[in-house]
Amino acid sequence: MDKFDTRDLEILTERTHLREQRADPLVGDFVDFADGHFERVSHVWPEWLQTTEVGSFHLCGTGNGSFSGGLCPFWIRKDHFRDSGTKRLGEFWFFHPGRWMAHNWVECQAPCRVWNCDYLRRTMHK
C-alpha cells in the first residue's frame, strides 16, 4: 500500500464530487434502520437495496462504490428508504494513483448520504 499523495487527493476530490451529484442510494452509503441499527449499502438493484455490517468498499471512478464481503441475505425495496439530509464519512479505498495493480491501494474517507429505513433491522437478522 502506497502513501496518499496529491494525485490521490485529486482522485478523491473528483470521485467525491461525482458521488455528491447523485441523489439515489449508492454503494457505501449508510442506512439508519428504525431501531437505530446502522449498516452500509452493499448492493443496489433496480428496485431493491442490500446492506451489510462489515466489508470493504472501493471508491470507483464513477463516484459509486463497489463492495467486497458478505451481503445481507435480505433485499429491501427502495421505497422504504428516505434521504435523511445528513452525511457521514465512510471508509473506502482506491488504486494509487489510479493504477490497477496488486498491493497498490490507498485508504480514504468520503462523505456518504445517510438513508432512513422504516424496517427494524435487528429483527431481520434472526
Residues of the domain holding 36: 6-124
Distance of alpha carbon 7 from alpha carbon 63, whole angstroms: 16
Edge-to-edge order in the sheet of strand 76-77: 65-68, 56-59, 81-95, 105-117, 30-33, 38-44, 48-52, 76-77
100 assigned to some structural domain: yes
pLDDT truncated to tens, each residue of the chain (126 aa)? 458 889 989 999 999 999 999 999 999 999 999 998 999 999 999 999 999 999 999 999 899 999 998 888 788 999 999 999 999 999 999 988 766 666 778 999 999 999 999 977 755 554
10 assigned to some structural domain: yes
97 assigned to some structural domain: yes
1 assigned to some structural domain: no
Query: How many domains does the chain divide into?
Result: 1
98 assigned to some structural domain: yes
* pTM for the predicted model, two decimal places: 0.89
